[in-house]
Amino acid sequence: MGEETVLVMEHISKAFPGVQALSNVHLAVRRGTVHALMGENGAGKSTLMKVLIGMYLPDQGEITFLGRRVKIESTQQALRMGISMIHQELSPEPYMTVAENIFLGREPLGRWGLIDKKKMVADTRALLERLEIDIDPNTVMRTLSVANTQMVEIAKAISYESRLIIMDEPTSAITDREVAHLFRMIRALKAKGVAIIYITHKMDEVFQIADEITVFRDGQHIATVRAADTDRNSLIAMMVGRELTNLFPKEEATIGEVVLSVRNLTRSGLVHGVSFDLHRGEILGLAGLMGAGRTEVIEGIFGIQPIDAGEIYVRGERVRIQAPADAIQHGMALLTEDRKLTGIMGVLSVRDNMMIASLGSYTRGGFLNRRVIDETCGREKSRLELKTPHMDQLIKLLSGGNQQKVLVSRWLLTVPDILILDEPTRGIDVGAKSEIHRLMSKLAQEGKAILMVSSELPEILGMSDRVLVMHEGRVGGEFVRKDATQETIMRAATGQRVAA
Amino acid sequence: MASKAAAENVGKHRGWESLNLFLNKYGIVLILLAMLVAFSLLSEGFFTARNIFNIIRQISFMGLIAIGVTMVILTGGIDLGSGSVLALAAVLATSLAQLPESATLKYAGLSVPIGVPVLVALLIGALTGWVNGALIARFRIPPFIATLGMMTVARGFALIYSNKPLSQLTPEYNFIGQGAIAGVPFPVIVLLVVAVLTHIMLNNTRFGRYIYALGGNEQAARISGVNIDRVKIGVYTLAGLLSGLAGLVVSSRVGSGQPGQGVGIELDAIAAAVIGGTSLSGGIGTIWGTIVGALIIGVLDNGLILLNVDQYWITIVKGTIIVVAVIIDQRKNR
Amino acid sequence: MASKAAAENVGKHRGWESLNLFLNKYGIVLILLAMLVAFSLLSEGFFTARNIFNIIRQISFMGLIAIGVTMVILTGGIDLGSGSVLALAAVLATSLAQLPESATLKYAGLSVPIGVPVLVALLIGALTGWVNGALIARFRIPPFIATLGMMTVARGFALIYSNKPLSQLTPEYNFIGQGAIAGVPFPVIVLLVVAVLTHIMLNNTRFGRYIYALGGNEQAARISGVNIDRVKIGVYTLAGLLSGLAGLVVSSRVGSGQPGQGVGIELDAIAAAVIGGTSLSGGIGTIWGTIVGALIIGVLDNGLILLNVDQYWITIVKGTIIVVAVIIDQRKNR
Amino acid sequence: VAPAAAPAAAPAAEEAAAEEAAPAEGGDAIRVGVTMLFDDRWLTSMREAMAAYGEAQEGVEVIFVDSKEDVAVQLGQVENFITQGVDAIVVVPANTDATDPMTQAALDAGIPLVYVNRKPANLPEGIAFVGSDSIDAGIFQMEWIAEALGGKGNVVILNGNLSQEAAQMRTEGVKQVAANFPDIALTKEQSGNWSREEGLAIMENWLASGDQIDAVASNNDEMAIGALAAIEAAGKLGEIIVGGVDASADALAEMDAGRLNVTVFQNAVGQGEGGIAAAIALARGEAIEQITWIPYELVTPENYKDYMK
Ligand SMILES: Nc1ncnc2c1ncn2[C@@H]1O[C@H](COP(=O)(O)OP(=O)(O)OP(=O)(O)O)[C@@H](O)[C@H]1O
Ligand SMILES: Nc1ncnc2c1ncn2[C@@H]1O[C@H](COP(=O)(O)OP(=O)(O)OP(=O)(O)O)[C@@H](O)[C@H]1O
Ligand SMILES: [Mg+2]
Ligand SMILES: [Mg+2]
C-alpha cells in the first residue's frame, strides 16, 4: 500500500440498539483504484461509509486519510477534506432544480453576497455536458425519473472534485446503458488519481470495474482480495458463507390459461396502446431502457394512476380498477420500484409493514389475531432470512435489502394470483436474490402469474418465460425465452425494428 | 453459521434493547411520577383521593379531545376545531335538557328523554368531523386549514344557536358531569372507558392499524389496498364525535351549555398528545401516552394552584415545565 | 438517441408545464381579484384608495408575522408564539416611549431617543425567536411544542411587565403606526419593504435557499454540508424579530402597548401563508403568495363588514370562503 | 328599581324621534355602526338591548361587529365604518387607554362617536360617553362581602381574563376596599378567564389545598357559579360567602336558591339604549350631555327579586 494509500480505516466498531453493525473492521483504499465493498444485506457496508463521512461516530476505531489521522464529525467536514458520497437511498431536494441540488451547500456567490444563479446553471450545464448526462439544469428534481435522479446524484458526487468518492449502490436505479456510462466516468476519475469505494450487489459490475474487493459479513471483515485473483463463485461463497450455485433457479412450470389481459392501455404522453397477456404459471419479463414507461404501465394496471384508455381483463372478465384496493381484490399484488417513497412505512414496525396488505385475513370477530400474526411474521422472517433484532424494530432501521425482503413478504402474504414485481431484487444481496428468484419459480409452478419489470438483463433473461420490451411507451418487441438474448432485447429497447 | 452468529447477537442485545424500549415507553411516566412526588412533598392537600379525582375530572373533557386528536395526528393530520365543536355540541345538547323553570329556557314546553341531547351532541360532533374528513380526503384541503375553518364556523353556529349560556339542566343530564359511580366520578369513568376502547381499536383492529399506516406512508398504504379516504373520514368523524362527547361532559359538569366554551382547548389537547410521545408527522403515538400527557398538564394546573403560585407566573412555569419535560423525554431517546 | 427522445419529452412537457406553473403560481391571485371585483360591485365604498390602504394597514402587522411564519413553515416548522411575542415587544417598547404626562407612566422621568424602544422591541423579538430555535435545533423539541411554550411564557412575561396598557406615547413612536410618507401609510411601507427584503433573501442568498432545502429534505441538506442547526436558529430568530416589529407597528398604530394584544394572530398568519400556497410540510411557498393570502383575509374582514353581514355569520362566511379558496387552488393543481 | 335608572339621553332621543317621523338627512336611514366584544354574557344583553332599541326607531339601522377585545381589530373596524359612511359610531372600547386613534379617526371624518360602557381615559370635546365605572362593581361587591364577614377573614379573588379592562378594574375595586380592613386578607387570586368551568376547577383546587377560605370575590357571575359548584361538592355550602358581578339570570336563580350571596347589577338595557339614543341624536345634529352615567347597583337576597324578569 504505502504512499499510494488514500484511506485507512482500522478497528472500526459501531453498534445500534440491538445490532452490532460493525465489529472491528478495517479497510484500506489506494489512490486511483476502485475498491469494491461487498456483503449481504445488513453486513454493515453503508454503516462503515456513513462513519467515514461523519454521519455516524464510530464506537471505536481510527481513520487515516491522506496520511493524516482524522476525526470526522460532520459531512461538511468530510466534503471539505475531499470525501464525497453517492448515498444508497436517493435523497434529492424534491422541489429544487437540478442545479440547486448539485450546488446545495456551496452555491456560487456574486455581487452583494447573493447567489450567482447564472453561474450556477452554467456550471451545472457544463458539468452535465462533461459527464454526458442529458438533463436540463433547470428541471425540478421531483419531475425526474428515479433513474435520472440517480444520475444527478452521481454528477453531484463527482462535482466535488474529491480525492475519494464513495458510491453506495449507484446503479440501483439505472439500466445497462447508464451503467456503462457511469463506468466510463469512473475510469476517467481513476485516471485522475481519484479513489473510489464501490458498493454493489451486482456481480458482473464488480468484475468489470473493481481493482480490489473487500467482503463483509455480519459486521465483520471477511477478506480483501484483488479482483483479478478471485472469481464469482468464491466471492459469493465469501459473502454468504456457503456455496451458492444456480443464481437464476428457473424451473419449468406448466403455462396455463390467460389470467391477466391488458388491451390498448394508454396514459397520455407516457404509455401508448400497450397490450399483452399474462398466463398462469408464466413469468413475463418487462424490459426496456429507463423512462420506457414500464412503471407507468404497471401504475395504470394497478389503479395507482388513472388510465386514459384501455381495458383490463382478469381471467377473461373485464374489470374496472380505480384504486389499488380493486387490484388487490382481483388477486393482484405489486411490489413497487421506489422502496422509500411507495414501499416502506418508515416509522412503523417490521410487523406492521409486513402485514398491512393482508390484515383482512388475520382478523377474528373483527379483531386482529395477534398470535397468528406473530407466527406468520416469524415464519416469514426465517423464510427470507430477514435480519432484524425483532419484529417491533422500525423498518427504517433495517438495511435496504432487508427492507425489500419485508416488502416481498407483504405481498406474498396476500396470496395473490398475479404478482407484479417492479425491480424486485433492487438492492438485494446475491443470497436473498436467488432466494427471491427461487420463490418466483416456485410461485409460477404453483400456477401464479408473474409480471416482472427489471432493468437487469441477466435477471430478465434468467427468469422470464417470455420477454416484452418497451420503447418510448410502446411495446417494441416480444420474445419467447429461447429467442431472448442481450442483443435482441437491446435492439428492441432502443427502437430498432426487429426482424423476428 | 452466519445466521447463528446473528441470532446470538440479537439475543445478547435483547436485554439492553428492552431497557431502552422501557425508557422510550415509560420515560414520560417517570416524569409524571416525579411531578406527583414533588407536589406531594410541597403541598399537603395534593396527594389525596379527592384531589386526584379532581385532577382527572378537570382534564376529562380535554382528555377526550386529546384522544381524538391523537388518532388524527397519527394519520399525519391535525384538528384545530375541537374547542368550537365542543361548544356547538354543548349548546345543542343543553337546549334539549333544560328544566321547564329555567330562566334561560330555549324551547318552552320541551321535555325529551335524556338520550336525545346525548345523541344530538354525539351526532353533531360526528357530523362536523365527517365534514372535516371529507374536505381533507376528497378535496385535498390541508387538515390545518380545513379544521381551522371548522374552528370559526362551528363557533359561529354555536353563537347563532344561542348567544347565551343555557342553564338549569335536568338532574339526569347533570349526572354525566357531576355524578359518580361507586365513588368514582362519572367523567373519570367516561374518559377511562374511551381510552381503553380507542386503545384496543388502534392496536387490535384493521381500522386502527390503517390509521398508523396512513401516518407512516400514505402512498404505501394506498398501494397496499388501504382505502385512504375512508380511513381519514373515519378518523376525523371519530375525533369529532369525541369533541361532541367532551361538550356533553363539560356542559353537564358546569350545568350549563356555553357558546364560548372550550376556546383554546385544542392546543392543550395537542400538547397532551405530543408530550405523551405522539409525533406530529404521524405514525407514532399511543393513547395511554396521551393520557399521561393530559395528566401532566392537569397535575401542573392543579399543583401550581395548590402551591399558590402567582397567576401570572403559573402560565410561565407551566409552559417551561412542559418544554423541559419534552426535552428530558427526547434526551433519553438518543 | 433514447436520450434525445428524453430531451424532446422534456421540451414537449415544458409548455404544458409552464401553463401549469402559471396557474399554480397565480391561481390564488385570481381568487383575490375575483373577491375584489365582487366586493367592488356589492359595495360602493370598497374600491377606494382610502379603503385599500385601510385594508393593507389593518393587515400590516399580521402580514409581518405571516412573513416570519412563512419562513418557519418553509423549513418544516411552525410558530405559535408570535401573538404573545408581539405583546411582549409592544409593552416593552411602549414603556420606553411614553410621554412624561402619561397617566399610565411606567418609568417616571424617562426620556429616551426613539431608537431605544424600536431596538428593544426588535431585540426581544429576536431573543424569543432564538430561544425557540435553540430548543428546536439543539434540544430536538417539536416546533409545535416549543413555540406553544413560548406562547404562554411570553404572554406571562408581558402581563408581569405590565398588566395594564401603556398609553400616551411620543409622536415619533406613534408615527410608526399612524404616519404616512407621500400619502402612503408607514405600516404599509414597512410591510412592503420587509416583503421585498425577505423575498430577495429567500431566493438569492444561501441562507434563503437552505431554508427551502431544510423543508424539502432535511437529510439531503445535511449530507450536502448545510449546517441545519444554524439555519433553524436563524429562521426562528428572524421570525421572532418580525413578531417584535409587528409589536412595534401595532402598538404605535393604536397608541398603546397592551399585554393582551395579538391573541390568535398566529393562526391568521399561518392561514395567510397556507392560503398563499405555503405547504405545511415545508419546502414550498413564497413571500408574495403569503402577502396575497394576508390580503385575502384582510379583504374578507373588510368587505364583509362593508356589506353589513351579521357578525356571527361573518366568521362562518369567512371560514367557508377561505376553505373554498383553498379548494379551488388545490383543484387546479390536479 | 332597575329600569328606573334609564339614561337621560334615551327619553330625549325618543321624543326627538317621535317628533321627526321622517328620517334625517336627505331621506336616508341613519346607520349606526357598533363595535364591541361579542363573546361576553353581559355585553350580549346590552347588544340585544341596542338592537331592539334601534329596531324600534324608524329609519335607523344598527350594525354590529365583534371587536374580539382587540384594540387593533377595533380600530380597523372604526376605519371600516368611516369608509362605509355610517352616520354614527358606537364603541365599547376594547381598552380604555387605547382609544385615541379611534377618537381621532372619527373626529377627522366628522362622524359622531359614542363610547359606551367603559369610559376612555381621554374623552375630548365632541365625543360622548354613556356607561358606568368598572371599578365600582368591585367596590360594591367587596364592601358587601367585608360587612358580611364582619371585617375579618380570608378572601379569594377569581379574576376574569387578565388582559381585559373589566377584570383589571373590578379586581382593583375589590383590592381598594379590602385595603381598608386590616383583618381581611386577600389570600389567593387566579384568573378563571370569565369561565364557569375554570372557576369551578380553580375553586376545587383551592379547596383541596386545605387553606381557610371565607369568601370568594369573583369578577363575574359565571365563575362565581362555578365556585359554588365546587363549594357544594366539598360540602361547604353556606360556610363560604360568594359574590359575583352581572346579576345574570343564572346568578339570580342561584341567589333564589339561597346559594349566591351577592352580585352587582350593571344596567345592560339602560346603557345599550342610552348609547344608541345618543348616537342617533348626534347623527341628527342634536346636542346631548357629553357624559351619561348609568351606575352599578348592588343585588342582595333582599332585593334580587326586583331584577328577575
Ligand atoms: N440507524 C440505525 N439504527 C439501528 N440499526 C441500524 C441503523 N442503521 C443501520 N442499522 C443496522 O445495521 C446493520 C448494517 O446496516 P447497513 O445499512 O450498514 O447494511 P448494508 O451492508 O449497507 O446492507 P444493504 O446491502 O442492504 O444496504 C443492519 O442490521 C441494519 O439494520
Ligand atoms: N413524478 C413524475 N413527474 C413527472 N414525470 C415523471 C415522474 N416520474 C416519471 N416521470 C417521467 O415518466 C417517464 C418514465 O419514467 P421512468 O424512468 O420511471 O420509466 P420506467 O419505464 O419505469 O423506467 P424504469 O423502470 O427504468 O425506472 C420519464 O420520461 C419520466 O421523466
Ligand atoms: Mg447499504
Ligand atoms: Mg420504472
Residue of D nearest to C263 (CA): D70
Mean pLDDT of C273-287: 90
Question: Does B219 reside within a domain?
Answer: yes
- Report the pLDDT averaged over residues D63-72: 88
Nearest 5°: phi and psi at C184?
A: -95, 125
* Ligand 2 contact, A476 CB (< 6 A): no
User: Average pLDDT, stretch C171-189?
Assistant: 93
The DSSP result for D135-185, as a single string, is: HHHHHHHHHHHHHHTTS-EEEEEEE--TTSHHHHHHHHHHHHHHTT-TTEE
Return the half-sphere exposure (C-beta side, CA atoms, 13 A cut-off) of residue A252: 1
More confident residue, C236 or A487: C236
- pLDDT of A36 higher than 50: yes
| Measured torsion, CA atoms of residues A438, A439, A440, A441, in degrees rounded to the nearest 10 | 50
Chain A neighbours, 3+ Cβ pairs < 8 A: B, C
By C-alpha distance, the chain C residue nearest A79 is: C225
Q: Please tell me the distance between residue A342's alpha carbon and the centre of ligand 2 in angstroms.
A: 14
What pLDDT digit, counting tens, does each position of B218-270 carry? 999 999 999 999 999 999 999 999 999 999 999 999 999 999 899 889 999 99
Residue with CA at minimum distance from ligand 2 atom 27: A290
Asked if B267's CB is within 8 angstroms of C146's CB, the reply is: no
Q: How confident is the model at residue C23 (pLDDT cuts 50, 70, 90)?
A: low
- C19: confidence class by pLDDT, cuts 50, 70, 90: low
Amino acid at position A188, single letter: A
If you average pLDDT over every residue of chain B, what do you get?
89
Side-chain-facing half-sphere of A494: CA atoms under 13 Å: 12
What mean pLDDT do residues C268-286 have?
90
Q: D29 by DSSP, 3-state: which?
A: coil
What average pLDDT score do residues D166-191 get? 93
B333 — pLDDT class (breaks 50, 70, 90): very low
In terms of residues, how long is chain D? 309
pLDDT over 90 percentage in chain D = 64
The predicted complex's ipTM stands at: 0.86
Which among A312, A288, A419, A272 is positioned nearest to A357, based on CA atoms? A419
Secondary structure (H, E, C), chain A: CHHHEEEEEEEEEEEECCEEEEEEEEEEEECCCEEEEEECCCCCHHHHHHHHCCCCCCCEEEEEECCEEECCCCHHHHHHHCEEEECCCCCCCCCCEHHHHHCCCCCCECHHHCECHHHHHHHHHHHHHHCCCCCCCCCEHHHCCHHHHHHHHHHHHHHCCCCEEEEECCCCCCCHHHHHHHHHHHHHHHHCCCEEEEECCCHHHHHHHCCEEEEEECCEEEEEEEHHHCCHHHHHHHHHCCCCCCCCCCCCCCCCCEEEEEEEEEECCCEEEEEEEEECCCEEEEEECCCCCHHHHHHHHHCCCCCCEEEEEECCEEECCCCHHHHHHCCEEEECCCHHHHHCCCCCEHHHHHHHHHHHHHEECCEECHHHHHHHHHHHHHHCCCCCCCCCCEHHHCCHHHHHHHHHHHHHCCCCCEEEEECCCCCCCHHHHHHHHHHHHHHHHCCCEEEEECCCHHHHHHHCCEEEEEECCEEEEEEEHHHCCHHHHHHHHCCCCCCC
Listed residue (D170, D171, D92) closest to D131, CA to CA:
D92
Residue C313 belongs to some domain of the structure? no
**Ligand closest to the CA atom of residue A47:** 1
Q: Hey, are the CB atoms on D44 and B163 less than 8 Å from each other?
A: yes
B322: confidence class by pLDDT, cuts 50, 70, 90? confident
**Within a domain: B197:** yes
Which residue among A327, A328, A352 places its CB closest to the CB of B212? A352
Q: What is the pLDDT of residue A496?
A: 74
CA D294 to chain CA mean position, Å = 11
Which residue puts its alpha carbon closest to atom 22 of ligand 1? A46
Name which of B149, B314, B315 is nearest C323 (Cβ-Cβ).
Answer: B149
- Nearest residue (by CA) to ligand 2, atom 11, is A145
CATH topology of domain A246-331+416-500: Rossmann fold (3.40.50)
Nearest CA to ligand 1 atom 27: A400
**In C43-170, which ranges are continuous DSSP H helix?**
49-74, 82-95, 115-138, 143-161
CB contact under 8 A, A18 and B14: yes
Q: What is the CA radius of gyration of chain C?
A: 21
- Pairing assessment for the beta strands B184-185 and C180-181 based on DSSP bridges: unpaired
**Which band of pLDDT confidence, cut at 50, 70 and 90, is reported for residue C66?**
very high
The answer on pLDDT for D26 being more than 80 is: no
Cell of B177: 358531569
pLDDT for A251 beyond 80: no
Residues C308 and C327: their CA atoms lie apart, in Å, by 26
Task: Give yes or no for B152 touching D (CB within 8 A).
Answer: no
Chain B residue numbers touching D209 (CB-CB < 8 A): 43-45, 305-306, 308
What is the rounded distance in angstroms from the CA atom of residue C149 to the CA atom of residue B324? 10
What is the pLDDT confidence band of residue D2, given thresholds at 50, 70 and 90? very low
CB contact under 8 A, B165 and D38: no
Hey, is the C-beta of C219 within 8 angstroms of any chain A C-beta?
yes
| Distance from residue A345's CA to the centre of ligand 2 (Å) | 22
Distance from C-alpha of C177 to C-alpha of C253, rounded to nearest angstrom: 4
Ligand 2 centroid to residue C189 C-alpha, Å? 47
Give the lowest-confidence range in A40-49, B86-95, D150-159.
A40-49
Could you tell me if A449 and A418 are in contact, meaning their C-beta atoms sit under 8 angstroms apart? yes
Residues lining ligand 1, CB < 6 A?
A 16, 19, 21, 39, 41-47, 88, 387, 397-402, 429
B46 CB within 8 Å of a chain D CB: yes
Please tell me the least confidently modeled range out of B178-187, B190-199, C228-237.
B178-187
Is C197 among the domain residues?
A: yes
Q: Using the beta-carbon criterion (under 8 Å), do A359 and B209 form an inter-chain contact?
A: yes
Average pLDDT over residues A86-110: 91
d(CA C299, CA C39): 9
Select the residue from A52, A56, A88, A104 to test the C interface by mutation, using most C Cβ atoms within 10 A.
Answer: A104
Domain count, chain B: 1
C-beta A245 within 6 A of ligand 2: no
Q: Does residue B204 sit at the A interface (CB-CB below 8 Å)?
A: yes
- Chain A residue with the nearest C-alpha to that of C16: A269
Report the nearest-CA residue for atom 18 of ligand 1.
A44
Cα–Cα distance between B94 and B252 in angstroms, integer?
8
**Residue C66: which domain range?**
59-296
CB C98 within 8 Å of CB C165? no
Residue C12 inside a domain? The answer is no
Mean pLDDT computed over C153-172: 91
Residue D110: phi, psi to the nearest 5? Answer: 70, 30
Note the pLDDT of residue D17. Answer: 41
Q: Is the CB of residue A76 less than 8 Å from the CB of residue C195?
A: no
pLDDT at D9: 42
Interface of D with B (CB under 8 A): 38-39, 41, 44-45, 159, 162, 188-191, 195-197, 200-202, 204-206, 208-210, 222, 225-226, 229, 233, 249-250, 252-253, 308-309
Dist CA D61 CA D28 (whole Å): 10
Reported confidence tier of residue C20, pLDDT bands at 50, 70, 90 = low
Ligand 2 near A295 CB (within 6 A): yes
Q: What is the mean pLDDT of residues D256-281?
A: 94
CATH 3.40.50.720 fits A5-240, yes or no: no
> pLDDT, tens digit, for every residue of B284-296?
999 999 999 999 9
Q: Contact, A291 vs C6, CB < 8 A? A: yes
Per-residue HEC secondary structure of B186-243 comes to HHHHHHHHHHHHHHHHHHHCHHHHHHHHHHHCHHHHHHCCCCHHHHHHHHHHHHHHHH
* Contact (CB<8Å) B220/A345: yes
Highest mean pLDDT range out of A183-192, A238-247, C65-74, D51-60?
C65-74
Question: pLDDT tens digits, residue range A432-476?
Answer: 888 888 888 988 998 999 999 998 888 898 899 999 999 888 888
The Cα–Cα gap between D73 and C301 comes to: 10
- Mutation to probe ligand 2, out of A142, A145, A459 (largest number of atoms < 8 A from CB): A145
> Taking CB atoms and an 8 Å limit, are A494 and C223 in contact across chains?
no
- Tens digit of each residue's pLDDT (9 = 90 or more) over A61-95: 999 999 999 999 999 999 999 999 999 888 899 99
Which three cell numbers mark B40?
Answer: 406531594
Of B59-73, B96-110, C194-208, which range is least confident?
B96-110
- pLDDT of residue D1 exceeding 90, the answer is no
Contacts of B145 in chain C (CB under 8 A): 271, 274-275, 322-323, 326
Centroid of ligand 3 to alpha carbon of A429 (angstroms): 10
In this predicted structure, the answer to whether residue D11 has a pLDDT above a threshold of 70 is: no
Q: Are A460 and A484 in contact (CB under 8 A)?
A: yes
User: Cα of B18 to ligand 1 centre, how many Å?
Assistant: 20
Q: By the 8 A CB rule, do B73 and B282 touch?
A: yes
pLDDT of residue A209: 93
Of B145, B320, B327, the CB nearest to C322: B145
Instruction: Report whether pLDDT(A264) > 50.
Output: yes
Say if the Cβ atoms of B145 and C267 lie within 8 Å.
no
Copy the grid coordinates of residue D71: 384594540
pLDDT bracket for residue A400 (50, 70, 90): confident
Selecting from A91, A134, A269 the residue whose C-beta is nearest the C-beta of C3 gives A134
Ligand 3 centroid vs A61 CA: distance in angstroms? Answer: 20
Q: Do the Cβ atoms of D97 and C103 come within 8 Å?
A: yes
Residue A244's pLDDT is: 64
- pLDDT value at residue D122: 85
Alpha carbon distances (Å) from C98 to B64, C87, D102: 47, 16, 19
Angle at alpha carbon of residue C215, lines to C214 and C216, rounded to 5°: 95
Q: How far is A483 from chain C (nearest CA, A)?
A: 24
Q: From its phi and psi, is residue A264 left (phi > 0), alpha (psi between -120 and 50) or beta?
A: left
**Distance, C-alpha A144 to centroid of its chain:** 17
> Is C85 part of any domain?
yes
Q: Are residues B90 and B64 in contact, defined by beta-carbon separation less than 8 angstroms?
A: no
Q: What value does the mean pLDDT of chain A take?
A: 89
Q: Which residues contact D166 (CB under 8 A, 6 or more apart)?
A: D118, D134, D160, D219
**Ligand 4 mean position, distance from CA A453 (Å):** 8
Comparing CB atoms, the residue among B43, B58, B167 nearest residue D209 is B43
Measure CA B201 to chain center. Answer: 16
C1, C3, C212 ranked by CB distance to A95: nearest: C212
DSSP D32: E
Position D14 pLDDT exceeds 80: no
CB distance D174 to D207 below 8 Å? no
Range C182-202 average pLDDT: 95
Report in angstroms the alpha-carbon separations of D300 from B270, D213, D306, D307: 43, 21, 10, 10
Which pLDDT score, from 0 to 100, does residue D308 have? Answer: 84
User: Would residue C288 count as lying in a domain?
Assistant: yes
Is residue C17 in some structural domain?
no
Ligand 1 binding pocket mutation candidate from A12, A13, A19, A27 (most atoms within 8 A of CB):
A19
Q: CB within 5 A of ion ligand 4: which residues? A: A 295, 337
CA of B231 to the centre of ligand 1 (A): 33
Environment of ion ligand 3 (residues, CB < 5 A): A 46, 88, 400
Q: Which ligand is nearest to the CA of A389?
A: 1
What three-state secondary structure class fits B120? Answer: helix
**Burial (CB count <10 Å: 0-12, 13-18, 19+), residue B183:** exposed
Q: Does A141 score more than 90 pLDDT?
A: yes
- Phi and psi at A132, nearest 5°, equal 55, 45
- Residue A7 has phi, psi (to 5 degrees) of -135, 135
Q: Which residue blocks in D5-57 are alpha helix, DSSP H?
A: 9-19, 41-56
The yes-or-no verdict on residue A48 having pLDDT over 70 is yes
Mean pLDDT of the B302-324 span: 89
Within a 10 A sphere around the Cβ of A353, how many other Cβ atoms? 28
In this prediction, residues B269-293 reach a mean pLDDT of 92
> Using CA atoms, how far apart are residues A48 and A52, in angstroms rounded to an integer?
6
Q: Which residue has the cell 454468504?
A: A240
Over the stretch A111-137, which tens digit does the pLDDT of each residue have?
Answer: 888 999 999 999 999 999 999 899 999
Query: For residue C22, what is its C-alpha cell?
Result: 402559471
- With bands split at pLDDT 50, 70 and 90, how would you rate the model's confidence at D22? very low
pLDDT in tens, C302-326: 888 888 888 888 889 888 888 888 8
* Cβ(C97)–Cβ(C219) below 8 Å: no
Distance from CA of C171 to the nearest CA of B (A): 32
For chain A, the domains span 5-240, 246-331+416-500, 342-414
Grouping H, G, I as helix, E, B as strand and the rest as coil, residue B289 is helix
